[in-house]
Amino acid sequence: MENTQIKTFNDKMESFIDQLLLELEEIYKDIHRNPELSMQEFHTAKIAADYLTKYKYEVSTGIGVTGVVGLMKNGEGPTVMLRADMDALPVTEATGLPYASTTIARDEEGIEVGVSHVCGHDLHVTWLMGASRLFSEHKDQWKGTLMVVFQPGEEVGRGAQSMIDDGLMDRFPKPDIILGQHVMVGESGTVGYRGGAILSAGNSIKVKIFGRGAHGSQPQTSIDPVIMAAATTMRLQTIISREVAPIENAVLTIGALQAGTKENIIPDDATLKLNIRTFNDGVRDHILSAVKRICCAECAASNAPRDPEFTMLDSYPITDNDVIATAKVAEAFRTQFGDRSYETQPASASEDFSVFGRNWKVPYVFWFVGGTEPKVYLEAKKNNLLNSIPSNHSPKFAPVLNPTLKTGLQAMMTAAIAWLD
């Protein structure tokens, strides 16, 4: 659509969006109270599927375990895919909200964990449900095919691929454009877009280091895996500081170091879990190689009985927005939001959203919606304290609902209508 048509569409939708917000707020709170871990999103998927059925979509469920696809054909025109992820995190919520999660569940390793939507996927689902309803109720305003996808397992990097492996590309029409968004720390009411790389690649690895256990009073009879793990942890940090050029963006984090059960027992082994974020495939490959080199070298230096064991936990590609399609979305955002839309910097978070576009070989655009109370955000920015605001995955991450709920819904519809004739 042309900008004047987009503005006319958005003006017509304004009052309908306002009328829908109370319903969407209740849906959001329900999903927030009842989060589900990755690949276990059965209740959330049913909420989405029932809603799509109510508003006359062709609904398919159980795709890639819990994935839901709604299809609405409305005459000749482009096919637009809108995507939202459904899964929550194994984090005990500490927001203090009256609708905070108290859910306890077992993860894939059988460990009992608190579960919460402290990444914002509950908002993503709610936004897409709202957009689905409005496009269904106002079919006279657009032409084409709308495909809405509720995806499982983003937090473990498997959900998008699981849907593809389950026949997504064979069962549904190929989109002309794939669109998605994520709530982030940022002034609520704003939208940030970027052509090219907007999110980093992410790789998570488990490294098991083997030693020889002994009594704590007789360390000479051991090969201490705790020492190996500690030395490895420190040495791995030199990859970023000494092997990656300063102009490259990369992060290596050791998120877990697990060893032993008692203070006077030297254990047989230790486990490191580390996460790598990069914006360049060559840099990623170098870091992965360096991790293996350093881990093996530290074990050899300690005379370990065997080489370490490496297990890839998850892998995310770079989210690299199509430049031409992003320019089209950005123009539509400027029409809708004015100076409340802006070009953002890349973020070192990672997503599997791009897996859909990469497999279908079609352009995709992903953007950010600010979720921080404007006064809080602007005050923190003024005092150079933005890093003190609880961010995604913090137990205290809690997007403010007003105007975040409305802005995300408007952004999704504005981007979609730019393609729908």
DSSP state of 164: H
> What are the residues facing 70 on neighbouring strands?
59, 148
Degrees, nearest 5: CA angle 283-284-288: 120
The confidence band for 34, taking pLDDT boundaries of 50, 70 and 90, is very high
Residue 258 has pLDDT above 80, yes or no: yes
Residue with tokens 């030199």: 238
Rounded average pLDDT over 307-312:
97
Would you state the pLDDT for residue 7? 87
- Position 109 scores a pLDDT of 86
> pLDDT class for 421, splitting at 50, 70, 90?
confident
40 secondary structure, DSSP code:
-
For residue 1, name the pLDDT band (cuts at 50, 70, 90). confident
Query: Which letter, b or e, does each residue of 236-268 get, where b requires 16 or more Cβ atoms within 10 Å of its Cβ?
Result: beebbeeebeeeebbebebeebebbeeeeebbb
Residue 363 scores a pLDDT above 90: yes
Question: With bands split at pLDDT 50, 70 and 90, how would you rate the model's confidence at 5?
Answer: confident
pLDDT of residue 226: 97
Q: What is the rounded distance in angstroms from the CA atom of residue 118 to the CA atom of residue 390? A: 10
164-180 pLDDT per residue, tens: 999 999 999 999 999 99
pLDDT of residue 282: 94
Task: Return the pLDDT at 19.
Answer: 96
Output the pLDDT for position 350: 95
pLDDT of residue 46: 98
Q: In the prediction, which pLDDT does 162 show? A: 98
Could you give the C-alpha distances from 296 to 51, 63, 274, in angstroms and in order?
52, 40, 15
What is the mean predicted confidence (pLDDT) over 12-31?
96
pLDDT digits over 364-410, tens only? 999 999 999 999 999 999 999 999 999 999 999 999 999 999 999 99
Q: What percent of the chain has pLDDT over 70?
A: 100
Which residues, including other chains, have CB under 8 Å from residue 409's CB and lie 6 or more apart? Answer: 17, 20, 24, 127, 130, 131, 134
Average pLDDT, the chain: 97
Whole-model pTM above 0.95?
A: no
Locate 256 and state its tokens. 């877990």
Q: What is the pLDDT of residues 267-300, one digit of tens each?
A: 999 999 999 999 998 999 999 999 999 999 999 9
- In tens, the pLDDT along 82-116 reads 999 999 999 999 999 999 999 999 998 899 999 99
Q: For the segment 208-250, what is each residue's pLDDT rounded down to a tens digit? A: 999 999 999 999 999 999 999 999 999 999 999 999 999 999 9
Has residue 2 got a pLDDT over 80? no
Which residue carries 């809080």 as its tokens? 376
Average pLDDT score over residue span 323-345: 97
pLDDT of residue 387: 95
**Which distant-in-sequence residues (6+ apart) come within 8 Å of 374 by Cβ?**
187, 188, 189
